[in-house]
A and B are shown apart, each in its own frame.
Chain A
């Protein structure tokens, strides 16, 4: 019975307010980073398609850095490291506008973009070369061919792994607590420290993450079904 009383006192007033704020910031980090990462990944993939060794080396160095260094360390490099390289006025500007949120979004975006661009690239490689030739023969320019013909198909082809990356990003947002971003994980620790209701606070956070992740997985399998029926047509 005491456990349920605990839930009741957590889910009202200030604590409820704090939880909702944390969840909102988690979702904000997730949505903003996901959208930005996707756009950046498209750009990265387009750069990689440009013939030439220098651009290829540059993009693959970017990808390898983000794949072989822990996300937590990437967050630290941005939050603790990068401000040192900026002039003092810029540092103050960032700190006045919530540096921990800005740097969390930057780090999460760059990290996810590296993975997504690799997925798009392998989606790309699965396209037959006749697609490019046909659209060029029809008079589409290079950028148009990419934007209207190749990228949409590459996205469809790599949809399953894109869903995986989305799920990964959703869970990675929890690491932002390490630089003091007041997202759900940070709030959970804070409320736990104040109330000592460890089980209840963790249960609330777990429920949120479970529902969020399962929603993403569900979207993924619906997308997969639609994709298969598209292919069958």
Chain B
């Protein structure tokens, strides 16, 4: 196993870079980061729409969430691969397909995180802000969202871990991330599939496990901070998002 790591370590970490395109674990992380950042605006819109007082907006966001949650990510990827060239007229690479599919998918899950965050901000704050003459958008932008997003940091980090694991599906549409690299190595060696895939699992484990430790630590320190503030405000019960049927 060590000799595989020695011979093929760079391929697993950065792909064929700098001779070829960037790949491996580096591409996995980039895919996950870009997807998280790009899905953020959508998630905030969905979160706002789901807590909105306008019924059609609320229902549209609800429908989006329930449809996306109900189908496997893999099917969503295949849909994206088919629909985007049809709509835009351009053929797109596996990497772009993956990011688009992940953004659509995460919009629903991260939207739920944002919604829970908004609901967890005490009602009195909204009332106070509105009473002081702030408009809805001012109130959201300056009072509710900053607090909601801060309290949701651990959940957002957990979503990032989910996205990282989900990027492994990009292998199925030919993106050269770390799972694809392992597949290539296995095809070259032929005799040691267990070692190669155990190594691949190890790579993901180190990355995701350390991130989940970080999320736990963040959660504890935010809870401590909130507990300190809670002596001043009584009704700040944390609401955890219910992430229905998240793929693992």
Contact = CB atoms under 8 A, between A and B. Distances in A.
B8 interface: no
A167 B245 contact: yes
Interface residues of B, number: 43
B205 A65 contact: yes
A132 interface: no
B204 A73 contact: yes
A206 to B, nearest CB: 6
Given A67-B212, A85-B194, A73 B245 contact: no
Interface residues of A, number: 48
| Shortest 9 CB-CB contacts between residues of A and residues of B | A167-B245, A213-B70, A81-B194, A174-B72, A68-B208, A70-B168, A70-B165, A171-B72, A80-B193
Given A81-B193, A164-B244, A164-B245, A72 B179 contact: yes
A176 to B, nearest CB: 10
A19 to B, nearest CB: 14
B200 A73 contact: yes
25 contacts: A64-B209, A66-B248, A70-B168, A72-B168, A76-B179, A77-B198, A81-B193, A81-B196, A82-B194, A84-B194, A164-B245, A168-B248, A171-B71, A172-B72, A174-B74, A174-B75, A185-B72, A185-B74, A202-B75, A202-B78, A202-B82, A209-B75, A210-B70, A210-B71, A213-B245
A167 B243 CA distance: 11
Q: Could you say which of A73, A173, A175 has the most chain B C-beta atoms within 10 Å of its C-beta?
A: A73
Interface of A is mostly: helix
B171 A72 contact: yes
B172 interface: yes
Interface of A: 64-74, 76-77, 80-85, 111, 115, 160, 164, 167-168, 170-175, 177-178, 185, 188-189, 198-199, 202, 205-206, 209-210, 212-214, 216-217
